[in-house]
Copies of this chain bind each other. A is one copy, B any other.
Amino acid sequence: MKHVISAKQFDLDTLAELFSTAKALKKRLSEQKVVKLAVDRILMTVFLEPSTRTRLSFVYAMKRLGGEVVDFGPEEVTSRAKGETFEDTMRMLDGYAPDVIVLRSREVGAAEKASKIVRCNVINAGDGWNEHPTQALLDVYTIWEQLGRVDGLRIAIMGDLRYGRTPSSLSYLLAKYRDITFHYVAPPQLQIREEVLKEVSHHTVHQHSRLEEIRDEVDVLYVTRLQKERLGDENLYQQLRGSYVVTVDLLKKLKKIPLIMHPLPRVDELPAEVDALPQAKYFQQAENGVYVRAALLTKLLNLDISSLQSS
C-alpha cells in the first residue's frame, strides 16, 4: 500500500492489521504522550479547503509518533493564489521530499492525481464530495471497538448522503465485510449516489426519507451534517436543516437506541442533549482518528512497530 486514495482499496486483512495496530497504539498512547516510531520522518499537510479535525488529527498522529509536520499553509497565502497549477505545486513539494503528503481538496480526484506526480506516499483527506477514506477507517474502527465485530452490522446513515464524502467512503469500507444492512436516511434530493449503491448492492439496502420510517433494530446511527458549503441553495438548506434533527425523543421512538456516531463538526442535526446518552460515541470516534491515522502512517511509512507488541 503506497497511497490511500479510496476506501475501496482496502481488503479485510489490511483492515484487521490496521485496527490491531491502532488498538495497540491507543493503549500505549494512553500511557505516554509520544511513541517514537516516526523520528526524522516528515508529514506534509496540504489542506486546500478548510479543515480542523482531519488536519489536527493527522498532526497529532504524526507528532505523537515522534515525527515532524510541515504545513503547506492556507491556500490564499500560497503561490496557488498566484495561479500555479496543482501539478506544479505537487512537483515542487515532491522536490522537498516529505515522507507523506496528506491532501484535502475541493476537487474530486485530487489525491489520485497527486499520487501520480509525487514519489512519496499520498493520503486523501477528502476530495470534494467524493471520498474521505481515513474518516471511514476511523468510523469502522470505532464500530469494531464498540461492538467487537463489523460483520452483520445494521447501520443507518443519515443526513447529506449526496454531497457528503463521509457516507460514500463509509459505505465502500463497510461493503468489504459480510452481511451489512444499510439504511440510508435522507430527503430525495440528498439521497446516496448511484455509484455508491452499486458498490453495496451485495448487501441489504434500504432507503428512507425520515428516521422514523426504520422499523427494524439498528446497531449504529451515523448522522452527518448538511453541508451548507456544498449545498449551494440557501433556501433548501434552511428548509432541510430543521427536519433532520436527531433529538433524544426521536431516538426513543426507535426499537432500540443505537450507538450514535457523527464525523463532526455538528451543527443543528445532533443537539447537545444527546451527548449524555451512553450510546453517544462521536467524541470517542474523533479521538480514535488519532490512533487510526497513526496506525495508517506506520503502515505507509513501513515503521517498525515491534515495540508495540510487547505492551
Could you tell me which A residues sit within 8 Å of B by CB distance? 29, 32-34, 40-42, 47, 50-53, 55-57, 59-60, 63-64, 66, 68, 70, 72-74, 76-85, 87-89, 91-99, 225, 228-229, 264-267, 272, 283-284, 286-287, 289-290
Contact = CB atoms under 8 A, between A and B. Distances in A.
8 closest Cβ pairs, A-B complex: A95-B287, A84-B265, A52-B79, A52-B78, A34-B40, A79-B265, A60-B96, A50-B77
Prevailing SS type, chain A contact patch? helix
Contact of A286 (B70, B95, B267, B289): B95
A97 B267 contact: no
Contacts of A88: 264-266
Contact of A79 (B50, B79, B81, B87): B50
B70 A52 contact: no
24 contacts: A47-B77, A50-B76, A50-B78, A50-B79, A50-B81, A50-B82, A51-B77, A52-B73, A52-B80, A52-B84, A53-B79, A56-B72, A56-B96, A63-B70, A74-B74, A83-B265, A84-B265, A88-B264, A88-B265, A89-B265, A92-B283, A92-B286, A96-B287, A97-B287
Contacts of A47: 77
A72 B95 contact: no
A68 B74 contact: no
A47 B68 CA distance: 21
Nearest to A91: B283
A51 B53 CA distance: 22
B68 A63 contact: yes
Contacts of A50: 76-79, 81-82
A52 B29 CA distance: 32
Contacts of A81: 50
B32 A96 contact: no
A176 to B, nearest CB: 26
Contacts of A78: 50-52
Contacts of A68: 63
A41 B40 CA distance: 16
Q: Which of A55, A59, A84, A265 has the most CB of B within 10 A?
A: A265
A99 B33 contact: yes
